[in-house]
Copies of this chain bind each other. A is one copy, B any other.
Amino acid sequence: MAVDITVKIGGQAGQGIQTVGDLLCQTCRQAGYFFLAINDYESRVRGGHNFFQVRISDTPVLAPAQEVDLLVDLDGVTYTQHASELNDDAIVLCMPEQNPAGHRTLHIDFTGLAKEAGNKAAQNTVAAAACLALLGAGKELCSKVVSQLFGTEEEKIVTVNQKALQAGFERVAQSDLKGWNLTWKEQQPAGALFDGASALALGAVAAGCRVGAFYPMSPATGIMTHLVQLAEHFPLVVEQAEDEIAAVNMVIGANFAGCRALTATSGGGFSLMTEGIGLAATTETPLVLINAQRPGPATGLPTRTGQGDLLFTLHASQDEFPRFVLAPATVADCFYTIQRAFYLADTYQVPVMVLVDQYLVSTSMLVAEKLEINPAAIPASMPKPPAKPETYARFAFTENGISPRLFPCQSQALVKATGNEHTPDGHSSENRENRIAMVNKRLAKLPSMKQEQRPPLLHHEQADWLLVSWGSSYGMVYEAVGKLRSQGLDVGLAHLVDIWPLPQEPLQSLLSGSKWILVEQNATGQLGWMLRAELGVEPKSSILQYDGRPLEVARIVSETAAKIGG
Protein backbone atom coordinates (compact mmCIF):
# COMPACT_ATOMS: atom_id res chain seq x y z
CA MET A 1 0.00 0.00 0.00
CA ALA A 2 1.13 3.52 -0.71
CA VAL A 3 2.69 5.35 2.19
CA ASP A 4 1.08 8.72 2.99
CA ILE A 5 1.40 9.67 6.62
CA THR A 6 1.21 13.11 8.17
CA VAL A 7 2.92 13.87 11.47
CA LYS A 8 2.22 17.12 13.26
CA ILE A 9 4.26 18.40 16.18
CA GLY A 10 2.96 21.37 18.12
CA GLY A 11 4.90 23.39 20.65
CA GLN A 12 5.88 26.81 21.81
CA ALA A 13 8.23 29.11 19.99
CA GLY A 14 11.73 28.54 21.31
CA GLN A 15 10.92 24.98 22.35
CA GLY A 16 12.81 23.69 19.33
CA ILE A 17 10.17 21.67 17.52
CA GLN A 18 12.21 22.29 14.39
CA THR A 19 14.58 19.65 15.78
CA VAL A 20 11.82 17.08 15.75
CA GLY A 21 11.18 17.99 12.15
CA ASP A 22 14.83 17.77 11.18
CA LEU A 23 15.15 14.32 12.73
CA LEU A 24 12.04 13.04 11.02
CA CYS A 25 12.94 14.50 7.64
CA GLN A 26 16.53 13.34 7.67
CA THR A 27 15.57 9.84 8.71
CA CYS A 28 12.92 9.68 6.02
CA ARG A 29 15.38 10.88 3.47
CA GLN A 30 17.95 8.26 4.38
CA ALA A 31 15.34 5.58 4.13
CA GLY A 32 14.38 6.70 0.65
CA TYR A 33 11.10 8.37 1.52
CA PHE A 34 9.69 11.59 0.13
CA PHE A 35 8.27 14.28 2.35
CA LEU A 36 7.00 17.82 2.49
CA ALA A 37 7.06 19.82 5.70
CA ILE A 38 5.44 23.11 6.61
CA ASN A 39 6.22 25.44 9.46
CA ASP A 40 3.49 27.39 11.19
CA TYR A 41 4.70 30.03 13.61
CA GLU A 42 3.65 33.26 15.20
CA SER A 43 5.44 36.56 15.21
CA ARG A 44 7.17 35.93 18.55
CA VAL A 45 10.35 34.27 19.70
CA ARG A 46 9.14 32.35 22.76
CA GLY A 47 5.80 30.91 23.79
CA GLY A 48 2.59 30.89 21.80
CA HIS A 49 1.68 27.92 19.65
CA ASN A 50 3.67 26.81 16.63
CA PHE A 51 3.64 23.61 14.71
CA PHE A 52 5.68 21.61 12.28
CA GLN A 53 3.82 19.25 9.99
CA VAL A 54 5.43 16.71 7.75
CA ARG A 55 3.82 14.50 5.19
CA ILE A 56 5.77 11.34 4.43
CA SER A 57 5.24 9.33 1.31
CA ASP A 58 6.86 6.81 -0.97
CA THR A 59 6.07 8.96 -3.99
CA PRO A 60 6.85 12.66 -4.45
CA VAL A 61 4.54 14.98 -2.56
CA LEU A 62 3.93 18.61 -3.45
CA ALA A 63 1.32 19.62 -0.90
CA PRO A 64 0.66 19.29 2.80
CA ALA A 65 -2.23 17.09 3.85
CA GLN A 66 -5.11 18.32 6.01
CA GLU A 67 -5.58 15.07 7.93
CA VAL A 68 -3.15 14.18 10.63
CA ASP A 69 -2.10 10.62 11.46
CA LEU A 70 0.28 11.24 14.30
CA LEU A 71 0.02 14.27 16.54
CA VAL A 72 2.64 15.31 19.09
CA ASP A 73 1.54 17.77 21.73
CA LEU A 74 4.52 19.41 23.39
CA ASP A 75 2.78 22.53 24.66
CA GLY A 76 -0.47 21.26 26.15
CA VAL A 77 -2.64 23.08 23.61
CA THR A 78 -1.74 21.33 20.39
CA TYR A 79 -4.29 18.58 20.84
CA THR A 80 -7.11 20.95 21.66
CA GLN A 81 -6.35 23.14 18.69
CA HIS A 82 -5.92 20.37 16.17
CA ALA A 83 -8.18 17.55 17.33
CA SER A 84 -10.53 18.12 14.42
CA GLU A 85 -7.74 17.41 11.95
CA LEU A 86 -7.08 13.91 13.26
CA ASN A 87 -7.84 10.82 11.26
CA ASP A 88 -10.03 8.23 12.94
CA ASP A 89 -7.15 5.90 13.66
CA ALA A 90 -4.69 8.67 14.48
CA ILE A 91 -2.30 8.43 17.38
CA VAL A 92 -1.74 11.28 19.83
CA LEU A 93 1.50 11.64 21.78
CA CYS A 94 1.03 13.91 24.74
CA MET A 95 2.05 14.63 28.28
CA PRO A 96 0.68 12.39 31.05
CA GLU A 97 -1.67 15.07 32.37
CA GLN A 98 -3.53 15.35 29.08
CA ASN A 99 -6.52 13.35 28.02
CA PRO A 100 -7.28 13.25 24.33
CA ALA A 101 -10.44 11.22 24.71
CA GLY A 102 -11.52 9.21 21.73
CA HIS A 103 -8.10 8.87 20.16
CA ARG A 104 -5.39 6.33 20.45
CA THR A 105 -3.02 7.93 22.88
CA LEU A 106 0.47 7.50 24.16
CA HIS A 107 1.37 9.50 27.23
CA ILE A 108 4.98 10.51 27.28
CA ASP A 109 6.70 12.57 29.91
CA PHE A 110 8.80 14.34 27.27
CA THR A 111 10.62 16.68 29.62
CA GLY A 112 11.01 14.11 32.34
CA LEU A 113 12.64 11.63 30.00
CA ALA A 114 14.76 14.40 28.49
CA LYS A 115 15.97 15.52 31.89
CA GLU A 116 16.85 11.95 32.70
CA ALA A 117 18.83 11.88 29.46
CA GLY A 118 20.66 14.94 30.66
CA ASN A 119 18.93 18.02 29.25
CA LYS A 120 15.36 19.28 29.11
CA ALA A 121 15.93 20.51 25.58
CA ALA A 122 16.24 16.91 24.40
CA GLN A 123 12.47 16.54 24.76
CA ASN A 124 12.38 17.14 21.02
CA THR A 125 14.52 14.11 20.42
CA VAL A 126 12.32 12.05 22.74
CA ALA A 127 9.32 13.10 20.71
CA ALA A 128 11.00 12.43 17.38
CA ALA A 129 12.16 9.02 18.57
CA ALA A 130 8.65 8.08 19.64
CA CYS A 131 7.29 9.13 16.26
CA LEU A 132 9.95 7.18 14.40
CA ALA A 133 9.43 4.14 16.56
CA LEU A 134 5.69 4.25 15.86
CA LEU A 135 6.47 4.56 12.18
CA GLY A 136 8.53 1.41 12.47
CA ALA A 137 11.96 2.93 11.91
CA GLY A 138 15.05 1.06 13.09
CA LYS A 139 16.89 2.55 16.05
CA GLU A 140 20.22 2.15 14.31
CA LEU A 141 19.32 4.43 11.43
CA CYS A 142 17.81 6.97 13.80
CA SER A 143 20.86 6.93 15.99
CA LYS A 144 23.04 7.61 12.96
CA VAL A 145 20.90 10.57 12.02
CA VAL A 146 21.13 11.95 15.55
CA SER A 147 24.90 11.77 15.35
CA GLN A 148 24.90 13.56 12.03
CA LEU A 149 22.50 16.30 13.09
CA PHE A 150 24.21 17.08 16.36
CA GLY A 151 27.64 16.30 14.97
CA THR A 152 28.79 19.90 14.97
CA GLU A 153 27.89 20.35 18.64
CA GLU A 154 29.90 19.27 21.65
CA GLU A 155 30.31 15.61 22.42
CA LYS A 156 28.02 15.89 25.44
CA ILE A 157 25.08 17.08 23.43
CA VAL A 158 25.33 14.11 21.11
CA THR A 159 25.36 11.74 24.08
CA VAL A 160 22.32 13.38 25.67
CA ASN A 161 20.36 13.15 22.46
CA GLN A 162 21.31 9.56 21.88
CA LYS A 163 19.98 8.80 25.35
CA ALA A 164 16.83 10.71 24.60
CA LEU A 165 16.40 8.73 21.41
CA GLN A 166 16.73 5.53 23.37
CA ALA A 167 14.14 6.73 25.87
CA GLY A 168 11.66 7.59 23.13
CA PHE A 169 12.02 4.20 21.52
CA GLU A 170 11.66 2.46 24.86
CA ARG A 171 8.50 4.34 25.72
CA VAL A 172 6.89 3.12 22.51
CA ALA A 173 8.13 -0.39 23.03
CA GLN A 174 6.53 -0.43 26.49
CA SER A 175 3.16 0.48 25.05
CA ASP A 176 0.91 -1.83 23.12
CA LEU A 177 0.12 0.75 20.46
CA LYS A 178 0.28 -0.51 16.90
CA GLY A 179 1.85 2.09 14.69
CA TRP A 180 2.78 1.85 11.04
CA ASN A 181 4.86 -0.82 9.49
CA LEU A 182 6.86 1.16 6.98
CA THR A 183 10.03 -0.25 5.51
CA TRP A 184 13.06 1.63 6.84
CA LYS A 185 15.94 0.35 4.88
CA GLU A 186 18.85 2.65 4.68
CA GLN A 187 19.30 3.49 1.01
CA GLN A 188 20.29 6.08 -1.53
CA PRO A 189 18.07 9.08 -0.79
CA ALA A 190 15.49 9.89 -3.42
CA GLY A 191 16.68 13.47 -3.57
CA ALA A 192 17.96 16.46 -1.67
CA LEU A 193 16.33 18.53 1.01
CA PHE A 194 15.42 22.08 0.05
CA ASP A 195 13.08 24.75 1.12
CA GLY A 196 12.09 27.59 -1.16
CA ALA A 197 14.56 29.92 0.50
CA SER A 198 17.56 27.63 -0.01
CA ALA A 199 16.51 26.82 -3.56
CA LEU A 200 16.27 30.53 -4.37
CA ALA A 201 19.65 31.26 -2.82
CA LEU A 202 21.33 28.36 -4.60
CA GLY A 203 19.67 29.33 -7.86
CA ALA A 204 21.04 32.84 -7.49
CA VAL A 205 24.54 31.42 -7.07
CA ALA A 206 24.01 29.19 -10.09
CA ALA A 207 23.17 32.36 -12.02
CA GLY A 208 26.43 33.98 -10.94
CA CYS A 209 24.93 36.35 -8.41
CA ARG A 210 27.81 38.14 -6.68
CA VAL A 211 26.12 40.67 -4.41
CA GLY A 212 23.17 40.43 -2.05
CA ALA A 213 21.73 43.37 -0.13
CA PHE A 214 18.67 43.24 2.04
CA TYR A 215 17.01 44.35 5.25
CA PRO A 216 15.61 41.62 7.52
CA MET A 217 11.95 40.97 6.88
CA SER A 218 9.99 37.79 7.42
CA PRO A 219 9.55 35.67 5.43
CA ALA A 220 12.32 36.87 3.10
CA THR A 221 15.16 36.79 5.62
CA GLY A 222 15.78 33.09 5.14
CA ILE A 223 16.74 33.62 1.51
CA MET A 224 19.53 35.94 2.57
CA THR A 225 20.60 33.73 5.44
CA HIS A 226 21.08 30.94 2.94
CA LEU A 227 22.97 33.28 0.65
CA VAL A 228 25.30 34.13 3.51
CA GLN A 229 25.97 30.44 4.00
CA LEU A 230 26.71 30.03 0.31
CA ALA A 231 29.16 32.90 0.56
CA GLU A 232 31.46 30.48 2.37
CA HIS A 233 31.71 28.48 -0.82
CA PHE A 234 31.25 30.91 -3.68
CA PRO A 235 32.33 34.47 -4.49
CA LEU A 236 29.53 36.49 -3.01
CA VAL A 237 29.17 39.41 -0.69
CA VAL A 238 25.97 39.87 1.30
CA GLU A 239 25.35 43.16 3.02
CA GLN A 240 22.62 43.96 5.50
CA ALA A 241 21.41 47.42 4.58
CA GLU A 242 20.06 50.08 6.92
CA ASP A 243 16.61 49.82 5.32
CA GLU A 244 14.92 48.41 2.23
CA ILE A 245 15.43 51.61 0.28
CA ALA A 246 19.17 51.25 0.71
CA ALA A 247 18.97 47.57 -0.16
CA VAL A 248 17.30 48.04 -3.52
CA ASN A 249 19.51 50.98 -4.42
CA MET A 250 22.63 49.02 -3.47
CA VAL A 251 21.54 46.22 -5.73
CA ILE A 252 20.99 48.70 -8.54
CA GLY A 253 24.45 50.15 -7.92
CA ALA A 254 26.01 46.69 -7.96
CA ASN A 255 24.23 45.75 -11.18
CA PHE A 256 25.19 49.06 -12.73
CA ALA A 257 28.80 48.32 -11.86
CA GLY A 258 28.46 44.99 -13.63
CA CYS A 259 27.70 42.35 -11.01
CA ARG A 260 24.55 40.32 -10.78
CA ALA A 261 22.93 41.23 -7.51
CA LEU A 262 19.86 40.18 -5.57
CA THR A 263 17.51 41.60 -3.00
CA ALA A 264 14.59 39.95 -1.23
CA THR A 265 11.90 41.46 0.90
CA SER A 266 8.24 41.33 1.79
CA GLY A 267 5.22 43.53 2.52
CA GLY A 268 6.24 46.95 3.75
CA GLY A 269 9.77 46.35 2.60
CA PHE A 270 8.51 45.85 -0.93
CA SER A 271 6.49 49.04 -0.66
CA LEU A 272 9.63 50.91 0.27
CA MET A 273 11.47 49.47 -2.71
CA THR A 274 8.96 50.64 -5.30
CA GLU A 275 10.75 53.88 -6.07
CA GLY A 276 13.98 52.01 -6.70
CA ILE A 277 12.26 49.68 -9.16
CA GLY A 278 11.53 52.74 -11.28
CA LEU A 279 15.17 53.79 -11.16
CA ALA A 280 16.25 50.38 -12.41
CA ALA A 281 13.60 50.59 -15.12
CA THR A 282 14.53 53.95 -16.50
CA THR A 283 18.29 53.47 -16.25
CA GLU A 284 17.66 50.03 -17.80
CA THR A 285 19.76 48.46 -15.08
CA PRO A 286 18.96 44.78 -14.51
CA LEU A 287 17.25 44.18 -11.17
CA VAL A 288 16.19 40.92 -9.58
CA LEU A 289 13.91 41.36 -6.60
CA ILE A 290 12.18 38.62 -4.66
CA ASN A 291 8.92 39.60 -3.00
CA ALA A 292 8.13 36.89 -0.46
CA GLN A 293 4.51 37.68 0.20
CA ARG A 294 2.90 37.71 3.61
CA PRO A 295 -0.57 38.90 4.55
CA GLY A 296 -1.10 42.62 5.05
CA PRO A 297 -2.12 45.36 4.89
CA ALA A 298 0.78 47.00 6.73
CA THR A 299 2.49 44.65 9.19
CA GLY A 300 -0.44 42.24 8.88
CA LEU A 301 0.49 38.68 9.78
CA PRO A 302 4.28 38.77 9.54
CA THR A 303 4.95 35.05 9.65
CA ARG A 304 2.07 33.82 7.52
CA THR A 305 1.34 33.32 3.87
CA GLY A 306 -0.75 34.84 1.13
CA GLN A 307 -0.90 35.99 -2.48
CA GLY A 308 -2.09 39.52 -1.94
CA ASP A 309 0.58 41.46 -3.83
CA LEU A 310 0.00 40.41 -7.42
CA LEU A 311 -1.56 43.60 -8.75
CA PHE A 312 0.69 45.77 -6.63
CA THR A 313 3.75 44.03 -8.05
CA LEU A 314 2.46 44.44 -11.60
CA HIS A 315 2.12 48.20 -11.19
CA ALA A 316 4.55 49.16 -8.45
CA SER A 317 6.42 52.44 -9.07
CA GLN A 318 5.25 55.56 -10.85
CA ASP A 319 4.52 55.60 -14.57
CA GLU A 320 4.98 52.74 -17.00
CA PHE A 321 7.78 50.43 -18.01
CA PRO A 322 8.23 46.82 -18.97
CA ARG A 323 8.95 44.34 -16.21
CA PHE A 324 8.78 40.62 -15.62
CA VAL A 325 6.74 39.07 -12.83
CA LEU A 326 7.51 35.40 -12.26
CA ALA A 327 5.95 33.13 -9.66
CA PRO A 328 7.62 29.76 -9.18
CA ALA A 329 5.31 26.83 -8.61
CA THR A 330 7.41 24.58 -6.40
CA VAL A 331 10.55 24.50 -4.32
CA ALA A 332 12.54 23.10 -7.25
CA ASP A 333 11.01 25.69 -9.51
CA CYS A 334 12.40 28.39 -7.22
CA PHE A 335 15.86 27.28 -8.26
CA TYR A 336 15.03 27.51 -11.94
CA THR A 337 12.95 30.63 -11.78
CA ILE A 338 15.56 32.71 -10.06
CA GLN A 339 18.11 31.67 -12.68
CA ARG A 340 15.72 32.74 -15.42
CA ALA A 341 15.12 35.97 -13.50
CA PHE A 342 18.80 36.84 -13.75
CA TYR A 343 18.93 35.84 -17.39
CA LEU A 344 15.86 37.94 -18.22
CA ALA A 345 16.97 40.95 -16.20
CA ASP A 346 20.30 41.02 -18.02
CA THR A 347 18.95 40.25 -21.45
CA TYR A 348 16.15 42.80 -21.40
CA GLN A 349 17.71 45.24 -18.91
CA VAL A 350 14.47 45.44 -16.96
CA PRO A 351 13.34 44.75 -13.37
CA VAL A 352 12.35 41.17 -12.70
CA MET A 353 10.14 40.53 -9.72
CA VAL A 354 9.92 37.02 -8.34
CA LEU A 355 6.75 36.48 -6.35
CA VAL A 356 6.96 33.81 -3.73
CA ASP A 357 5.36 33.66 -0.30
CA GLN A 358 5.91 32.46 3.22
CA TYR A 359 4.51 29.02 2.38
CA LEU A 360 6.92 28.46 -0.46
CA VAL A 361 10.09 29.86 1.10
CA SER A 362 9.69 27.98 4.36
CA THR A 363 8.31 24.70 3.09
CA SER A 364 11.00 22.05 3.07
CA MET A 365 10.76 18.97 0.98
CA LEU A 366 12.63 16.26 -0.71
CA VAL A 367 13.39 17.40 -4.23
CA ALA A 368 13.80 14.28 -6.29
CA GLU A 369 15.01 15.78 -9.54
CA LYS A 370 18.64 16.76 -9.71
CA LEU A 371 18.87 20.54 -9.90
CA GLU A 372 20.87 21.62 -12.93
CA ILE A 373 22.52 24.89 -13.82
CA ASN A 374 20.67 26.62 -16.63
CA PRO A 375 23.44 27.31 -19.14
CA ALA A 376 21.53 30.25 -20.61
CA ALA A 377 21.58 31.89 -17.21
CA ILE A 378 25.35 31.87 -16.81
CA PRO A 379 26.41 35.51 -16.95
CA ALA A 380 28.00 36.61 -20.19
CA SER A 381 31.05 38.80 -20.05
CA MET A 382 30.77 42.45 -20.93
CA PRO A 383 30.26 43.03 -24.66
CA LYS A 384 33.08 44.62 -26.59
CA PRO A 385 32.97 48.40 -26.49
CA PRO A 386 32.82 50.20 -29.85
CA ALA A 387 36.11 50.82 -31.62
CA LYS A 388 35.50 54.54 -31.18
CA PRO A 389 34.59 54.74 -27.51
CA GLU A 390 33.26 58.28 -27.87
CA THR A 391 30.45 56.97 -30.08
CA TYR A 392 29.09 54.80 -27.32
CA ALA A 393 25.54 55.64 -26.24
CA ARG A 394 24.21 53.57 -23.37
CA PHE A 395 20.59 54.12 -24.45
CA ALA A 396 20.97 53.98 -28.21
CA PHE A 397 17.71 53.45 -30.05
CA THR A 398 17.43 49.94 -31.45
CA GLU A 399 14.70 47.97 -33.09
CA ASN A 400 14.01 45.71 -30.13
CA GLY A 401 14.54 48.47 -27.59
CA ILE A 402 17.62 46.82 -26.10
CA SER A 403 20.75 48.98 -26.11
CA PRO A 404 24.31 47.74 -25.70
CA ARG A 405 25.21 47.72 -22.04
CA LEU A 406 28.74 48.35 -20.82
CA PHE A 407 30.04 48.63 -17.27
CA PRO A 408 31.61 51.81 -15.92
CA CYS A 409 35.41 51.97 -15.82
CA GLN A 410 35.78 48.71 -17.72
CA SER A 411 36.63 50.32 -21.02
CA GLN A 412 37.32 53.71 -22.53
CA ALA A 413 33.62 54.10 -23.34
CA LEU A 414 31.81 56.24 -20.81
CA VAL A 415 28.67 54.87 -19.23
CA LYS A 416 26.21 57.60 -18.33
CA ALA A 417 22.82 57.02 -16.81
CA THR A 418 20.12 59.00 -15.08
CA GLY A 419 16.71 58.48 -13.54
CA ASN A 420 15.53 61.54 -15.43
CA GLU A 421 14.25 61.12 -18.94
CA HIS A 422 17.32 61.12 -21.13
CA THR A 423 18.80 61.12 -24.58
CA PRO A 424 20.53 58.02 -26.00
CA ASP A 425 23.83 59.16 -24.53
CA GLY A 426 22.38 59.17 -21.02
CA HIS A 427 22.01 62.88 -20.40
CA SER A 428 18.80 64.38 -18.99
CA SER A 429 16.49 65.72 -21.65
CA GLU A 430 13.23 67.65 -21.66
CA ASN A 431 12.80 67.23 -25.39
CA ARG A 432 9.36 66.13 -26.46
CA GLU A 433 10.27 63.93 -29.39
CA ASN A 434 13.04 62.29 -27.40
CA ARG A 435 10.60 61.57 -24.59
CA ILE A 436 8.18 59.84 -26.90
CA ALA A 437 10.99 57.89 -28.52
CA MET A 438 12.40 56.77 -25.16
CA VAL A 439 9.04 55.59 -23.85
CA ASN A 440 8.57 53.71 -27.10
CA LYS A 441 12.07 52.27 -26.91
CA ARG A 442 11.46 50.89 -23.45
CA LEU A 443 8.08 49.47 -24.32
CA ALA A 444 9.44 48.01 -27.54
CA LYS A 445 10.98 45.25 -25.48
CA LEU A 446 7.59 43.78 -24.65
CA PRO A 447 6.99 41.61 -27.71
CA SER A 448 10.26 39.75 -27.29
CA MET A 449 9.76 39.63 -23.53
CA LYS A 450 6.45 37.86 -24.13
CA GLN A 451 8.24 35.28 -26.27
CA GLU A 452 10.36 34.35 -23.27
CA GLN A 453 7.42 33.46 -21.10
CA ARG A 454 6.67 29.93 -20.07
CA PRO A 455 3.12 28.83 -20.80
CA PRO A 456 0.97 27.94 -17.81
CA LEU A 457 1.38 24.45 -16.40
CA LEU A 458 -1.51 22.52 -17.88
CA HIS A 459 -3.14 19.29 -16.75
CA HIS A 460 -6.23 17.88 -18.41
CA GLU A 461 -6.70 21.26 -19.96
CA GLN A 462 -9.46 19.93 -22.18
CA ALA A 463 -11.61 19.14 -19.16
CA ASP A 464 -15.12 20.53 -18.68
CA TRP A 465 -13.88 22.74 -15.87
CA LEU A 466 -10.52 24.27 -15.29
CA LEU A 467 -9.02 25.48 -12.06
CA VAL A 468 -6.88 28.55 -12.67
CA SER A 469 -4.19 29.39 -10.14
CA TRP A 470 -0.67 30.79 -9.89
CA GLY A 471 2.61 30.56 -8.07
CA SER A 472 3.15 28.61 -4.90
CA SER A 473 -0.26 26.97 -4.82
CA TYR A 474 0.65 24.56 -7.60
CA GLY A 475 1.14 21.54 -5.39
CA MET A 476 -2.20 21.97 -3.69
CA VAL A 477 -4.23 22.70 -6.77
CA TYR A 478 -2.55 19.89 -8.67
CA GLU A 479 -3.38 17.42 -5.95
CA ALA A 480 -6.94 18.74 -5.73
CA VAL A 481 -7.41 18.17 -9.46
CA GLY A 482 -6.27 14.58 -9.05
CA LYS A 483 -8.75 14.02 -6.24
CA LEU A 484 -11.59 15.66 -8.13
CA ARG A 485 -10.92 13.51 -11.16
CA SER A 486 -10.85 10.41 -9.04
CA GLN A 487 -14.30 11.46 -7.87
CA GLY A 488 -15.30 11.34 -11.51
CA LEU A 489 -15.36 15.09 -12.06
CA ASP A 490 -13.82 16.32 -15.29
CA VAL A 491 -11.59 19.01 -13.89
CA GLY A 492 -8.28 20.27 -15.28
CA LEU A 493 -5.70 22.82 -14.32
CA ALA A 494 -4.11 25.91 -15.84
CA HIS A 495 -1.50 27.16 -13.43
CA LEU A 496 0.39 30.37 -14.18
CA VAL A 497 4.06 30.67 -13.37
CA ASP A 498 5.14 33.45 -15.69
CA ILE A 499 2.63 36.11 -14.87
CA TRP A 500 3.84 39.17 -16.68
CA PRO A 501 4.05 39.96 -19.50
CA LEU A 502 1.25 37.53 -20.24
CA PRO A 503 1.24 35.92 -23.65
CA GLN A 504 -2.30 35.69 -25.04
CA GLU A 505 -2.12 32.06 -26.01
CA PRO A 506 -2.83 29.40 -24.89
CA LEU A 507 -4.78 31.02 -22.07
CA GLN A 508 -7.03 33.09 -24.28
CA SER A 509 -8.40 30.06 -26.10
CA LEU A 510 -8.46 27.84 -23.05
CA LEU A 511 -10.27 30.27 -20.81
CA SER A 512 -12.73 31.65 -23.30
CA GLY A 513 -13.60 28.12 -24.34
CA SER A 514 -14.20 26.50 -21.00
CA LYS A 515 -15.73 27.11 -17.61
CA TRP A 516 -13.10 27.96 -15.08
CA ILE A 517 -12.71 28.62 -11.40
CA LEU A 518 -10.13 30.95 -9.96
CA VAL A 519 -8.13 29.64 -7.01
CA GLU A 520 -6.13 32.27 -5.18
CA GLN A 521 -4.84 33.17 -1.76
CA ASN A 522 -6.30 36.62 -1.55
CA ALA A 523 -9.72 38.10 -0.95
CA THR A 524 -10.44 39.89 -4.20
CA GLY A 525 -9.26 37.47 -6.89
CA GLN A 526 -6.41 39.51 -8.29
CA LEU A 527 -5.34 37.07 -10.97
CA GLY A 528 -8.92 37.00 -12.17
CA TRP A 529 -8.95 40.78 -12.47
CA MET A 530 -5.73 40.69 -14.46
CA LEU A 531 -6.98 37.94 -16.74
CA ARG A 532 -10.14 39.88 -17.41
CA ALA A 533 -8.15 42.97 -18.25
CA GLU A 534 -5.65 41.13 -20.42
CA LEU A 535 -7.78 38.50 -22.11
CA GLY A 536 -11.36 39.54 -21.58
CA VAL A 537 -12.17 36.22 -19.94
CA GLU A 538 -14.41 35.74 -16.95
CA PRO A 539 -14.28 33.02 -14.28
CA LYS A 540 -17.47 31.22 -13.37
CA SER A 541 -16.54 31.31 -9.72
CA SER A 542 -13.64 31.61 -7.35
CA ILE A 543 -12.13 29.87 -4.38
CA LEU A 544 -10.36 32.44 -2.28
CA GLN A 545 -8.48 31.70 0.91
CA TYR A 546 -7.07 34.62 2.85
CA ASP A 547 -6.53 33.39 6.38
CA GLY A 548 -2.75 33.46 6.14
CA ARG A 549 -2.52 29.66 6.16
CA PRO A 550 -1.40 27.42 3.27
CA LEU A 551 -4.10 26.70 0.76
CA GLU A 552 -5.98 23.53 1.67
CA VAL A 553 -6.38 20.73 -0.81
CA ALA A 554 -9.51 19.44 0.94
CA ARG A 555 -11.11 22.81 0.67
CA ILE A 556 -10.36 23.19 -3.03
CA VAL A 557 -11.82 19.76 -3.60
CA SER A 558 -15.00 20.33 -1.66
CA GLU A 559 -15.65 23.82 -2.91
CA THR A 560 -14.96 22.88 -6.50
CA ALA A 561 -17.22 19.87 -6.24
CA ALA A 562 -19.96 22.02 -4.76
CA LYS A 563 -19.59 24.67 -7.44
CA ILE A 564 -19.64 22.35 -10.40
CA GLY A 565 -22.41 20.36 -8.86
CA GLY A 566 -20.37 17.22 -8.46
Contacts and interface: CB of A to CB of B under 8 A. Distances in A.
Contacts of A443: 523-524
Contacts of A526: 320
Contacts of A420: 43, 298-302
Interface stretch (A123-131, A179-187, A529-537): A529-537
B270 A297 contact: no
Instruction: Count the copies.
Output: 2
A317 interface: yes
Interface string A257-284: 0000000001110111011001101110
A358 to B, nearest CB: 13
Contact of A523 (B245, B270, B320, B532): B320
A542 to B, nearest CB: 14
Interface in A418-454: 418-421, 428, 430, 432-433, 435-436, 439-440, 443
Contacts of A439: 523, 546
B281 A298 contact: yes
A216 interface: no
Interface residues of A, number: 67
A233 to B, nearest CB: 34
Interface in A326-372: none
A548 B432 contact: yes
A317 B532 contact: no
Nearest to A49: B430
A311 interface: yes
Nearest to A281: B297
A306 interface: yes
Contacts of A278: 268, 271, 296-298
A271 B524 CA distance: 23
A446 to B, nearest CB: 10
A309 interface: yes
A319 interface: yes
Contacts of A319: 267, 295-297, 300, 306, 308-309, 522
A538 interface: yes
A293 B421 CA distance: 15
A432 B549 contact: yes
Of A282, A315, A318, A522, the most chain B CB neighbours within 10 A belong to: A318
Contact of A532 (B279, B309, B536): B536
A321 interface: yes
A266 B419 CA distance: 15
A77 interface: no
A42 interface: yes
Contacts of A538: 536
Contacts of A522: 319-320
A338 B228 CA distance: 49
Contact of A300 (B43, B282, B536): B282
Interface string A534-565: 00101000000011110000000000000000
A158 interface: no
Contacts of A302: 420
A312 interface: yes
Contacts of A314: 311, 315
A316 interface: yes
A318 B270 contact: yes
Of A278, A436, A522, A549, the most chain B CB neighbours within 10 A belong to: A278
28 contacts: A42-B430, A43-B428, A43-B430, A271-B274, A272-B274, A274-B274, A275-B298, A279-B297, A282-B298, A282-B299, A296-B318, A297-B320, A297-B321, A298-B420, A299-B419, A300-B319, A300-B419, A304-B430, A308-B318, A308-B319, A309-B318, A311-B314, A315-B316, A320-B523, A320-B526, A433-B547, A443-B524, A533-B533
> Top 7 nearest A-B pairs by Cβ distance?
A296-B319, A298-B419, A308-B319, A533-B533, A271-B275, A278-B297, A296-B318
Given A267-B319, A278-B297, A530-B533, 18 more contacts: A268-B318, A271-B274, A271-B275, A281-B298, A282-B299, A293-B318, A298-B317, A299-B420, A300-B319, A301-B420, A301-B421, A301-B430, A306-B319, A308-B320, A312-B318, A316-B316, A320-B523, A532-B533
